[in-house]
Every structure is written in structure tokens, then in C-alpha cells.
Structure 1
Amino acid sequence: MKLIYLLITMTIMTNPPQFNFGSKNNTDTWRIVNDDVMGGKSNSKIEEKENSIIFKGHTSLENNGGFASMRTLIPKGALKECKTLTIRFKSVNTSRSFGISLKSSQKYYIPYYKFTFSPKSDDWQELTIKLSDFDYYKISEKMEDSMPLDALEEVFNIALIISDKEEGNFDIEIDYINFE
């Protein structure tokens, strides 16, 4: 059922992606990918609330691990005309760093783009990020200064990731992620 919903969503999505979360909005297409795909021991899950989702879990550095993520697919070209991303979130983990990544390849060694942020308090915060401020990464290492905007034509995967090289519990509650 989730695959059918994803295919329908991808087919009809012509406007910039808008993810307004909650028990009846946009959560079915998001999936968890943790470092266990490469032998790590981190774990995470998504919990739906009435008007938001909570991404939480535990990152482990065991077996060269250390990341947890929630991801979704979008149609290639959906970000082509976008200039910004706005996320509304809160977290009790103000010492942890989260990232939003944009990928244009399924191969882990192909570079991707990421913007890293840290919650400043446990209250709701809204962060608007210029897509040109996303950095270029390859296997968690920063490669170049920023993403060229023409790269947005190939992006098909959006992820919220924690990979801050720290072990421990994390959580982040998200109201929405919107592109404009």
C-alpha cells in the first residue's frame, strides 16, 4: 500500500515538495535507514503525532556506525525551481547536530548535498535555508563549499539525518519541511 501511495504522490507532485506532518499527512512515504545497512548498531523510528512527527533513536559508534536517518523520494526535477527549504522543529537534544541531505544517486559513494543545524532550545524553531548554502559531501566528508543550483534538477531523495559522530539518544519533532 505504501508503494502505491508513493507512486501516486510522485506522479501528481508538480509543485515544490511540501511535507506537513501529522497522523494524516505525508508520513507514509518516509522510511528509516540506519547505519545497520553497513554493519553499525544505531537504531531509530518515526512516531506520528496529530500535527507532527518525532524522529528519535540512539546512535552508536560501534562497528564504525554513527548515523540514523529518515528519507523519502521525490520526482527528479521537483526542486528545479526551488531556492529555499523551511523546516519547523523542536528537540530536547540541543547538543546534537542534525542534517538535511539531498541526493541524486542511490550509490553511497556518489557525492550528495547537506545542510547541518543544531537546535538552539527545546521550543519550536523555524529555520529557512538557501539551497545554495547546502554543502557538498562524499561519504560524510565535506568536499566543496556549496551545491550548484543546477544540481537540484537531479535530486530525488530527501533525508533528515543525524551523523554527528556522537553516541547517544536523540529526538527531533518536525512540524513541516517545505521547499519554495
Structure 2
Amino acid sequence: MAKWDAGRFLNTVSYFEAIPVVSDLQRWLTGGSNRKSTTNGGKAVGKILVVGAMTDIGQVLVQQLVKSGYTVRAAIADLSLAPFSIPAGVEYVMVAPDNNTSLSNSSLTDRVMQGVRAIIVCLDAEETLSTVALDNLTAAVNTYLPTNNRLELFDFTHPTIDLQATWGAVDDVVMGGVSESGIGMRAGVAVFSGNVSTDNSGGFASVRTRNLDPSLNLSNYQGIELKVKGDGQRYKIFLRTEEKWDGVGYAHSFDTIANEWMTIQVPFKGLVPIFRAKTVPNAPLDTTQICSFQLMLSKFEYDRALNPRFTPGLFSLEIESIAAYGGDTMPQLVVIDSTTSTDDLVAKLRTTNLPYSIVRAVNLDALMVAAIAVKSISQSEAVGQVLT
């Protein structure tokens, strides 16, 4: 019998707070802290770029977006004023205006647009959006923003500290086995790799997210999409709707082709409810409450059936991204307009073929305008509409 590693067991249950007393004790002994996942949930996934964040409406809008759980990138012309006008913790970048009427194309760079899912433009009173500015915004949306009905959940091409701290190993050491795995970031991908062993009646290795806070509401989507490059083995993805450690997981097995990138779509309706490797009848998936994700290599399929492509030993699965697919079209460009007529702006926006919304700021206070704009970016019915 292979030697069981009690230390790895304690590290696992501590990292995921599976046994709170153990987690608290280990943090006390080591002086460490628990870093709960800060992956944003539901509507908060992806950054909102606010252009004109220093305008009166823009400042209120940034505050309301943050309050609503969104990650905000504030684009302003004078960075020296940002500490006095932008809330603490909000990222800000310089997007220089061109003659105060149009956005400079050179300002909408990779740095400014990285990770953005929607742009909100706050125009000053009676300022109009020029054709040049609109062309530049259109090009930025088409170049940088994701396909509208796809929601990026984990983008490993641009790993962050929070993203790396979200995932941890859950191997068969939790049941006496000796398999060992981990997840690392390199060259624009995450790599789930390790050594899976059947010793001590084990035979699985996995990586799992800490409970997402807040949980994800993916009810507007059809399933999960993975971009992966494997080693020819059959892996599993699990979704969980309960925060507890040992609850029902919703699983799907997928085969890989050695050294070949693949896009795998997993429909929510095709996920199998599993509890301790056994299928669970009458346990529908609640897509409004996705608490965690897990990737696994196991010698078993379901109900003790064997994985026909399983090989013990070293393994490796590269992951570029995990996303939700098949969602409704949401506004990707929202323009807050303070002019007396929106006819010209509507005509311009229609030519772009972008999913847009216009928020009329006439005769409304800044807080009301901001509330309408915040609501619009998560409503498919707002596309192509003038909102007041």
C-alpha cells in the first residue's frame, strides 16, 4: 500500500474550508489567510468600460456600477484628477479625446480594451458623438469584445492573481489515495496536470474553484464552452449549485485528442447529477446558482463504470478559457445622450450593426440616468432602444 500524505489532505480541506475547524486551526498555526474566490458572479462577469467617467453623470455611473457588483474600468482624459473623482479600487486608464468631440483611435488600445464586455459613453451636456468617434468605438467593439452571446467566465489567456487563487487541487488524497495534481498558468493557458494513481483504491485527480462569491446566474445561457488541448484521455467537468463541500455535482465527460486544440460545448441539459460517483435521479440543475467548477481525470465514469480511455500516470490538460454560450444578445455599446434630439445619434448607431442602447439624460438627474444605464447592460430588450 502506498503511503498516504496527511499533510496534503489537511491542505486541501483547509484551502476549500471543507472542515472549518481544520481551516481555522491551520491559518492560526501558519499565520495564513483564507483568500475566498473573488470571481464575479452573473451580471458582474467582465469589465464595463466607462468613457467620460469624469463627467457629472459618469462619476455617479461608476459608483452605481460598483455598487451593483460590476468590475469597472474608468476611461478619463486627465489621470491627475482620477484620485479625487474615481472611487477607491476602480481601475482607470487614459483615453484622450480628439478635439473634445471624438475618441482617438490610438487611445482604444489592447490595454484599455482587455477584458471589456460593454462600453458606456457619457457625453457632456449637448455634446454629440462624432462619426469619427463612433467609427473608433465600433472598431473597438468588433476587435476586442467577445461574441455577444458568449460570456467569458475564466480567461486564462490573461491570468490575474485572483484567478490563480480561485483554483485548487482536490485529489483522491481526500479518500486515502495518492494521486497528485495542480493547476498552473503559463504562456496564456492554464495547465491542469499531475500524476494519477490507482494505489490505495484511488484513481482520480482534479482541480476545483473555491465557492464563487457571488454565485453565477447563467439562466440566460445554454451551456458551458471549454477551449482545451489534452493528451487523449477522457476528462470531466463538474458544476455545483451548493456551497457545501460534499454535495451533488453536475458532470459531463469529454474526450480529448492528443496535442490538438478543441472547442467543447456542454449543454446544461446534458449534465448528469452525481453524488459520490453515483447518479442522482430527479435532481435538476439550477442554473441561477452556479457555485463552483471542477475539472477531473478519473478511472471511473458513473455508477462504478470504468472510464474507457483512462490511463494511470502522468497527464496534462491545457485550458485557454471556460465560458457560457448561447446567451441572449445584450447591449455592448450604451451612449448616454444629453442633446435635445436623439434622431441623429440613432441614425448613426443603426449603421454600426452593434447591439446598442441610448439613455436620454434630458430632464433626469444623474442618479436616475445611471440607474437606467446600469440596468440596460443586462437586458436583451434594451438593444436598439432609446431609454428614458
Quote the offset at 1:179 in angstroms: 1.3
Q: Quick check: 1:42–1:59 contact (8 Å CA) kept in 2?
A: yes
Secondary structure, counterpart of 1:86 in structure 2: strand
Cα distance between partner residues in 2 of 1:19 and 1:2: 21
Matched, 1:179 2:324: yes
| Structure possessing the higher relative contact order (Cα contacts under 8 Å, 6 or more residues apart) | 1
Q: TM-score, normalised on structure 1?
A: 0.83
Cα distance between partner residues in 1 of 2:158 and 2:196: 26
**Structure 2 residue aligned with 1:148, among 276, 284, 302?**
284
In the TM superposition, 1:74-93 aligns within 5 A as 74=212, 75-91=214-230, 93=231
Q: Which runs of 5+ in 2 are unaligned?
A: 1-32, 46-150, 301-309, 326-388
Quote the offset at 1:51 in angstroms: 0.7
1:46–1:13 distance in 2 versus 1, CA, 3 Å: farther
1:155–1:21 distance in 2 versus 1, CA, 3 Å: same
Cα distance between partner residues in 2 of 1:140 and 1:128: 22
Rg larger in structure: 2
Cα distance between partner residues in 1 of 2:41 and 2:266: 27
Cα distance between partner residues in 2 of 1:29 and 1:78: 18
Q: Quick check: 2:42–2:217 contact (8 Å CA) kept in 1?
A: no
Secondary structure, counterpart of 1:37 in structure 2: helix
Higher strand share: 1
Which stretch shifts more, 53-62 or 72-81? 72-81
Cα distance between partner residues in 2 of 1:62 and 1:169: 14
Q: Which runs of 5+ in 1 are unaligned?
A: none
- Corresponding residue for residue 159 of structure 1: 294
RMSD: 2.5
**What amino acid maps onto 2:297 in structure 1?**
I
1:118–1:12 distance in 2 versus 1, CA, 3 Å: closer
Q: TM-score, normalised on structure 2?
A: 0.41
- Corresponding residue for residue 255 of structure 2: 118
- Corresponding residue for residue 3 of structure 1: 35
Q: Quick check: 1:69–1:161 contact (8 Å CA) kept in 2?
A: yes
1:52-73 CA-to-partner distances (Å, cap 9, x unmatched) read 0111011111122111111113
1:97–1:12 distance in 2 versus 1, CA, 3 Å: closer
Quote the offset at 1:79 in angstroms: 2.6
**Structure 2 residue aligned with 1:14, among 27, 40, 44?**
44
In the TM superposition, 1:32-71 aligns within 5 A as 32-71=169-208
